[in-house]
Structure 1
Amino acid sequence: MPTYPPEPWHLAGQMYLSLWAVPRSALPPLPAGVRPLTVAGRALTGAAWVRYEGDSVLRYDEVLSAVLVRDGLRPRVTITDIWVDSPASMAGGRELWGIPKELAEFDLVTSGEGALRASARTASGELGSASFRPGTRLPGRWPLAYRVLQQMQGRLVTSPVRSRCAVGPARAQWRIPPGSPLRVPAGRPPLLSLTLHDFRLTFGSPALAPSARTA
């Protein structure tokens, strides 16, 4: 098994994110005991392409989908599908936080204006592709803190995430082939798409061992 850094992971890079409001019936399966956060019968799901670069503890590409869920009245994020091109990231994500990472090959091309063309595939075939055209960035750098809720070793665990980035709106198109295991509602236009430029992110906490974290 590849070695990986201890938590927390300090990461930096670029993220391209789309969000959808979908009926609860359209969500992918969630871990046992996890319920989506819904408003008027609709839940919020998202998908993102990420490039970890610069002084990140690991450098790799990633595509993921996630659902906004609740722990009582507290909002959480559950990652349902995720692929990376780093065996160390896959091993660390699974063993530290219960994140179900798989391996894939990526083709991420960015322009000087921050536009993105991205695709990913596994040995079984294409996962999907997307294009992002960024708009004008908002002023400043925006903080964001949340917790990821996953199932690991038969129990629910939460992991803290803290980040800061420049934010801008984007126009995005997603293309997911039939039968792809990347469960993104690409047949619906995104409710919102964003570019998260030059983010700095800390994932996890050195104070809590995985066996001690609970939801």
Structure 2
Amino acid sequence: MRIPSVPESLLATDVVLPESSAPAPWKTRIDAAFWWHRASPEAAAQLPVELRALGTIPVTLVAFVRYRESPVGPYSEVFASPVLLRQWPVPPLHVPFIAVDSLASVHGGRVNWALPKTVASFEWGPSSIAASGDGWDVAATAQASTPKFPVAGGLKVVQLFDEGPRPAWVGLYGRARLGRVTVAASGPTLSSWLLPGRHPALIISDSTMNVGAPR
């Protein structure tokens, strides 16, 4: 199955993936920093043509996620959605850039959800996170500005399979704080649509995330 992606998510030809991984759905335990900003003029062009035709909302969503527990073990992840899709009542996101430090997660993401996962290395500090891959890097420093509060909700993700677009629901519940992240990014496309600077953020700690099977 060919999975559309930005150049930063291309999987090197010498990467050897496992033959199998855990099937969907996945129940996980995470720490994460989600942030968002108004989409750049170049952002919508990162979507496959089939999804651009649905219409877009100019909001970019990005996250660093550390999986404490998952069906394929602990791992780290960074992903970005350049724009939201204009569908209601929940505007979905499409993920053309996603990288992890687990080959089992690469396999599971590609097979279960048509997510173009590639391989990266990660560094986690007390308030900073950095990921780097083949010709790209993303770094963020997070600062919380509120006490922790309960959070419950979800996201809808639409990815392209051989048979066409299919949605999956991602549910989240746990504890979070509002804050800001200061971001820097580089890469063939990331530098044009994953904007640097200071952005509002949702900082999540030790929470449950359930990633449903595509429908």
Give the TM-score normalised by structure 2: 0.80
Matched, 1:151 2:160: yes
The counterpart of 2:129, out of the listed 118, 131, 144, is: 118
1:96 has 2:112 as partner: yes
Q: Secondary structure at the match of 1:91?
A: helix
Provide TM-score, normalisation by structure 1: 0.80
Q: Which amino acid aligns with 1:137?
A: P
State the distance in 1 between where 2:40 and 2:188 align. Answer: 20
Structure 1 range deviating more: 70-79 or 7-16 = 70-79
Partner amino acid, structure 2, of 1:197: S
Q: Is the 8 A contact 2:158 2:167 kept in 1?
A: yes
**Matching residue of 1:113:** none
Alignment of 1:1-215 (within 5 A): 1-2=17-18, 3-34=20-51, 35-38=54-57, 43-53=58-68, 55-57=69-71, 58-66=73-81, 67-71=83-87, 74-110=90-126, 116-122=127-133, 124-139=134-149, 141-177=150-186, 179=188, 181=190, 184-190=193-199, 192-205=200-213, 213=215
Which range moves more in the overlay, 87-96 or 175-184?
175-184
Give me the identity figure in percent.
Answer: 24
Give ranges in structure 1 of 5+ residues lacking alignment: 111-115
What 5-or-longer segments of structure 2 have no aligned partner? Answer: 1-16
- How many residues of Structure 1 are paired with residues of Structure 2 in the alignment? 194
Of 141-150 and 86-95, the range deviating more from structure 2: 141-150
Measured in 2, the distance between the counterparts of 1:194 and 1:50 equals 12
Q: Summarize the Cα distance change of 1:182–1:5 in structure 2 as closer, same or farther, 3 Å threshold.
A: farther
Is 2:123–2:131's contact at 8 Å kept on the other side of the alignment?
A: yes
Going by fraction, where is strand more abundant, 1 or 2?
1
CA distance in 2, matches of 1:174, 1:126: 14
> Are the structure 2 counterparts of residues 28 and 59 from structure 1 closer, same or farther at C-alpha, using a change threshold of 3 Å?
farther
State the alpha-carbon separation in 2 of the partners of residues 56 and 182 from structure 1. Answer: 31
- Could you report, residue by residue, the CA deviation over 1:122-175 in whole angstroms, capped at 9, with x for unpaired residues? 2x3441211111222343x21112321000115101112111021211221111
Q: 1:181: Cα distance to partner?
A: 4.6
Task: Tell me which amino acid in the other structure corresponds to 1:163.
Answer: L
Letter in 2 for 1:201: M
Cα deviation per residue 1:162-211 (whole Å; 9 max; x = unaligned)? 11021211221111135465765323542x21201222011023xxxx6x
The alignment yields a C-alpha RMSD, in angstroms, of: 2.2
- Which stretch of the first structure deviates more once superposed, 22-31 or 82-91? 22-31
Contact 1:16 1:195 in 2 (8 A): yes
Q: Is the 8 A contact 1:81 1:183 kept in 2?
A: no
